[in-house]
Chains A and B, each alone.
Chain A
Amino acid sequence: MTANAEPIFTAPASEDGPPAERELPRLPSGWRVVAGKELADHLASVRLYVLFLVLGAAALIPMYFAAERIRAAADAASGTPSLFLYLFWLSPQGFTLLSVYQFVAMAAPLVGLGFAFDAINGERHDGTLPRLLSQPIHRDDVINGKFVAGLAAISLVLMAVIGVISAFGFIRLGIIPAPNEIIRLIVWFLFTIVYVALWLAFGLLLSVVIRRAATSALVGFGVWLFVAIPIFGPLVISIIGGFIAPGTSSDQAALDAAGTQQFLLRLLPSTLYQEGSIVILSPQVSTVTTPATIGQYDQLQQQIPGLASLDQSLLLVWPHIVTLIALTAICFAAAYIRFMRQEVRA
């Protein structure tokens, strides 16, 4: 008896075989089930509370110090527009880095990374990935569901933090927001979510590419340190800028160098976020460009101080918003494509 005597492939192998006749329940959309489970996990996890504390502290500490100035402003306040939003962007005298939105710019990436750095490699490590993928869901349901769950968890954390700050404003300072301030706050909230979503997508990408959760956490942390912390990032930028356009030979060269620096700085999502935030939060701000030439500086000096309406502010930061969304999309797409092609096996 040879192998040839084995039963041979007798089926005509129609491309669409007979669908099973068993009555099967309608399949739910897989990403919803995955997202539901992931969100439940997030809400029950210590991680959520740690990240809430980190973000909460990052927001409350500068606000506490800024409160003195706000109170001082409030005394002479009748003419001060958008006093409520001062809570979110005013820094204490002498510490320009210490304002809520700048602290959020630093801390929020940690929240995004924290919810995603082990999303896929964690499943792989625990041996749950093959089991999950052998269920009747598409492979992208897993990554989509995790992304949505992460966004939902982040929104919750952020909402809670903004709620705490607002409550502080109501109770301690007695400031009540005007309707247009509330709208600006909501816009800022959405803008912040986009910013955190970028880091969430980046964390997801790390969790797909790097096989060990600890390594991906470390890589994420390293990138965060240089991109989101306003001490290291600009330093690195100025080094790189110095190579590209050394601004020592003439005045024009110095101006060029400043221009290059600003361009490079705008490549950092944290810069985009900070510039966008200040414009959204304070109607007084009507430009995002640091004057690089004498002419620009003159222009700025001659500008009549006025208040930008919300649509004017949005117009000003539209490029920032689009860029952040595009960066998020790129990170997510990279994670997505990589995950779809990856072998299930470890």
Chain B
Amino acid sequence: MSPTARRHASAAGPSSRRARLKARAQRVAETGASTAPILTRGLTKRYGEILAVDSLDLEIQAGEIFGLLGQNGAGKTTTILMLLGLTEPTSGRARVVGLDPARRPLEVKRHVGYLPDSVGFYGSMTGRENLRYTARLNGLPRADADERIAEVLEHVNMTARADTKTETYSRGMLQRLGIADALVKSPDILILDEPTAAIDPIGVVEILDLLRQLSDEQGITILLSSHLLSQVQSTCDRVGIFAAGRLIGVGTVEELSRRFGESSTRIEVTLDGAASESELQHAHATLKDLAGVTRVLPPERPRDPWTLLAPPERASEVRVATLAAAAREGLGLTAIREVEPSLDDIYRRAVQDRGLVGAGRAA
């Protein structure tokens, strides 16, 4: 993102937008409805025998970036389509900007910008022409539309290529144009399905930065789905973990790690000295006996680090003890570090603990 683009973006009237959002919040408060722009309750979609989405309760607050995370086929896209009124729920309700998308899809779609999974454009038209079509479908007058299109193209850094045919675009460019396309209608909510899939790492950072910026400067509520958990971890204010059609956890990454973590700190220890079977056993015994260590997970492959679990308050004590023991027993310690829980770990554990989680929900 170029500095000019940033300036341009921030000049795009966020204050009036904030005022509008605020006005809506107030109005909603007066009428007693929830202020959450996206709200679902018991939302369920069944395709024949398959339960794609299973009684989903979701509440996304105005202005936040919410990540819907889960593997392919977990029900993320189905959820999004129901929120847009493009698929009817089998049962349950949804409210998007206070409206039922199944009953009033047109009004919902005016307020929601949507970037579909592997978005496409009309190849024989230029990027700008494609966006013009979207603007016309949204009823924007030509002059306003051209201005708005120039603005969003600048936003996603596509101005230079805007007048070439989209059939020449790379996947990353299509993705950025897709975001511009979703922004043309000046949405209150942006729903992005796998915005970072099939994009090179630098492109991913650019897109995530852009989303942050949109959220910060214009107060747009953003719902994004991804199966690349760690990638979007830093961008999302809150995440919801989705598995087999069920939302098995919602919260900030920290909250989730507390909930699904084993309430212990993980310390990785790389040992060079332990190679033979007996050495491994010796190392295992030594580490296990350290004060404060609750569990020792041996490496799956010989060169990988060992993992020690310890209560957070005793983590530093364990580190010191590990250093001392390694020196004493000749374990050939080369590295020791505390591991931040990643969403991938959380996800894995959350899915593994599903039985337990289900019981928690029922309680």
A residues lining the B interface (CB < 8 Å): 1-4, 6-22, 24-28, 30, 33-34, 36-37, 41, 44, 126-128, 130-138, 343-345
Given contacts A4-B363, A25-B138, A138-B106, contact A17 B123 (CB under 8 A): no
**B335 contacts which chain A residues (CB < 8 A)?**
none
Q: Write the nearest CB–CB distance from A122 to chain B, whole angstroms.
A: 10
- A sample of 28 cross-chain residue pairs with beta-carbon separation below 8 angstroms, ordered by A number, consists of A2-B363, A3-B250, A3-B361, A7-B59, A9-B41, A13-B39, A13-B93, A17-B95, A18-B28, A22-B20, A24-B139, A25-B138, A25-B139, A25-B141, A27-B110, A27-B139, A28-B137, A37-B133, A41-B124, A130-B114, A131-B119, A131-B178, A134-B109, A134-B114, A135-B134, A136-B107, A136-B185, A343-B87
Q: A13 to B100: give the CA distance in the assembly, Å.
A: 9
Give Cα A343 to B48, complex, Å: 13
Other A-B pairs beyond A16-B99, A20-B107, 5, CB < 8 Å:
A13-B39, A126-B120, A126-B122, A131-B121, A131-B134
- Total interface residues on B, CB under 8 Å, equals 68
Q: What's the nearest-Cβ distance from chain A to residue B238, in Å?
A: 10
B residues less than 8 Å from A16 (CB atoms): 99
What residues on B are CB-neighbors of A6 within 8 Å?
A: 57, 59, 250-251
Please state if A9 and B34 are interface contacts (CB–CB under 8 Å): yes
**Contact between A133 and B86, CB atoms less than 8 A apart:** yes
Using Cβ atoms and an 8 Å threshold, which residues of chain A touch B100?
15, 17
Interface centre among A13, A28, A132, A135, by most B CB within 10 Å?
A: A135
- Interface pairs A-B: 8 shortest CB-CB: A127-B120, A17-B98, A130-B116, A11-B34, A134-B114, A135-B137, A25-B139, A9-B41
Note all chain B residues with C-beta closer than 8 A to A33. 133, 136-137
- Once bound together, how far apart are the Cα atoms of A1 and B256, in whole Å? 10
Q: Is the CB of B86 within 8 A of A130?
A: yes
Which B-chain residue is minimally distant from A9 (CB atoms)? B41
User: Measured between C-beta atoms, what is the minimum distance from B121 to chain A in Å?
Assistant: 6
A9 in contact with B39 (CB, 8 Å): yes
Given the known interface contacts A11-B34, A17-B95, A134-B116, the answer about A4 and B361 at a Cβ–Cβ threshold of 8 Å is yes
Contacts of A127 in B (CB 8 A): 116, 118-120
Most chain B CB neighbours (cut-off 10 Å) among A2, A10, A34, A131: A131
Give CA–CA (A295, B310) in the complex, Å: 106
- Minimum CB–CB distance for B180 against chain A, Å: 12
Asked if B346 CB lies within 8 Å of chain A CBs, one says no
Q: Are B57 and A9 in contact (CB under 8 A)?
A: yes
Q: Does B32 contact A (CB under 8 A)?
A: yes
- The reply to whether the CB of B280 lies closer than 8 angstroms to some CB of chain A is no
Given A1-B259, A9-B41, A15-B100: A28 touches B141 (CB 8 Å cut-off): no
Name the residue on A nearest B360 (C-beta).
A2
Contacts of A138 in B (CB 8 A): 106
In whole angstroms, how far apart are the Cα atoms of A19 and B357 in the complex? 38
Interface residues of A: mostly helix, strand, loop or mixed? Answer: loop
Contacts A15-B100, A131-B181; A21 near B24 (Cβ below 8 A)? yes
A40 to chain B minimum Cβ distance, whole angstroms, is: 9
User: Does B255 sit at the interface, judged by CB under 8 A?
Assistant: yes
Nearest-neighbor residue (CB-CB) of A34 within chain B: B137
A134 and chain B: residue at smallest CB distance: B114
CA separation between A126 and B133, bound complex, in Å?
16
Give the shortest distance, in Å, between A36 (CB) and chain B (any CB).
8
Residues of B near A134 (CB, < 8 A) are 84, 86, 109, 112, 114, 116
Q: Is A17 touching B97 in the complex (CB atoms < 8 A)?
A: yes
Taking CB atoms, residues of chain A closer than 8 Å to B181 are 131
For B199, the chain A residues whose CB sits under 8 A away are: none
User: A4, A15, A44, A136: which has the most chain B beta carbons within 10 Å?
Assistant: A136
**Min distance, Cβ A24 to any Cβ of chain B, angstroms:** 6
Q: Tell me how far the C-beta of B20 lies from the nearest C-beta in chain A, rounded to whole angstroms.
A: 6
Looking at the complex, which one of B87, B99, B109, B249 makes contact with A135 (CB distance below 8 Å)?
B109
The residues of B that contact A24 with a CB separation of less than 8 Å are 110, 139
Question: Residue A27 contacts which of B20, B99, B106, B116 (CB distance < 8 angstroms)?
Answer: B106
Knowing A3-B357, A6-B59, A20-B97, the reply to whether A131 touches B114 (Cβ < 8 A) is yes
In this assembly, does B173 line the interface, its C-beta being within 8 Å of a C-beta of chain A? no
Q: How many angstroms between the C-alpha atoms of A20 and B93 in the bound complex? A: 19
Please indicate which of the listed interface residues B93, B134, B136, B251 has the most CB atoms of chain A within 10 Å of its own CB: B136
Residue ID in chain B nearest A15 by CB atoms: B100
Q: How far is the CA of A20 from the CA of B187 in the complex (A)?
A: 11
Nearest Cβ distance between residue B26 and chain A, in whole angstroms? Answer: 10
When distances are taken between beta carbons in the complex, the residues of chain B under 8 Å from A4 are: 360-361, 363
Whether A12 contacts B138 by the Cβ 8 Å rule is no
Roughly how many angstroms separate A199 CA and B178 CA in the complex, as a whole number?
35
Q: Which of B98, B122, B139 has the most CB of A within 10 A?
A: B139
Q: Do A28 and B136 form a contact, CB below 8 Å, given A6-B57, A7-B59, A136-B110?
A: yes
B6 near A: Cβ within 8 Å? no
Across the interface, A18 reaches (CB within 8 A) one of B86, B98, B118, B134, namely: B98
Distance between Cα atoms of A24 and B109 in the complex (Å): 12
CB–CB A12/B32 < 8 A: yes
Interface residues in B131-153 by Cβ distance below 8 A to A read: 133-134, 136-141, 144
In whole angstroms, how far apart are the Cα atoms of A18 and B98 in the complex? 6
Asked whether, in the complex, the Cβ of A9 is within 8 Å of the Cβ of B59, the reply is yes
User: In the complex the two chains form, is B31's CB within 8 Å of A20's CB?
Assistant: no
Question: Is residue B210 contacting chain A, with contact meaning CB distance below 8 A?
Answer: no
